[in-house]
Structure 1
């Protein structure tokens, strides 16, 4: 890993994951960022994720399609060009149609490591 303070982070299959119909592409995982994490989510098929309680704050910029966040009885849909946010501690379901794509950022970057301790 380079110690350069500025980087262009290309796709790396090692830092991908899946949550139901959502492919997750974590671009900042191999960097030295300590607070902010970022990447892309793409719905590979129509559908929804299982409920997920966020151990972090998260924001999405919808690139294409429509992303719906369901928190309890509330449903918020963002379309291309809109930003959706989620507060730490909420339990959310992510819904979309095949081809929906969004850029995400979340804080803290090391949420996985923090939850393991």
Structure 2
């Protein structure tokens, strides 16, 4: 039986890129069944394409500033703050250069359920 508490270090096999965003899916190799978590980075800043969330998501901004564009509204999230996003909302993520944030989303297997 594996240990129920595990570190989730960086693993290049579980990284992805979405436009200007580097995504580190830290919980993926640990086999959590309900929660996905990791780090997003905007090394050079920038804005993503619109994305409609098939999951619930939250961010804690570690460094920089994260802006979420939802329709005509922009929510600016400075370092040290948390923001939540409801399933079904369409958002564009924008970060200033050097923005880093911790994210978590539910369900962890959202991608597999979309592909089936």
Give the TM-score normalised by the residue count of structure 2: 0.96
Measured on the aligned residues, the alpha-carbon RMSD in Å equals 1.0
Cα distance in structure 2, aligned partners of 1:42 and 1:32: 23
SS in 2 for 1:5: coil
Contact 1:3 1:32 in 2 (8 A): no
Contact 1:28 1:37 in 2 (8 A): yes
Query: Hey, what does 2:113 align to over in structure 1?
Result: 114
Deviation readout 1:39-85 (Å, 9 max, x if unpaired)? 00000212100001111000000001000001101110111110011
Gaps of 5+ in 1: none
| Aligned residue runs from structure 1 range 38-117, under 5 A | 38-117=37-116
Give the TM-score normalised by the residue count of structure 1: 0.96
Aligned residues between the structures: 116
Deviation readout 1:67-116 (Å, 9 max, x if unpaired)? 00011011101111100111001110001111000000000000011101
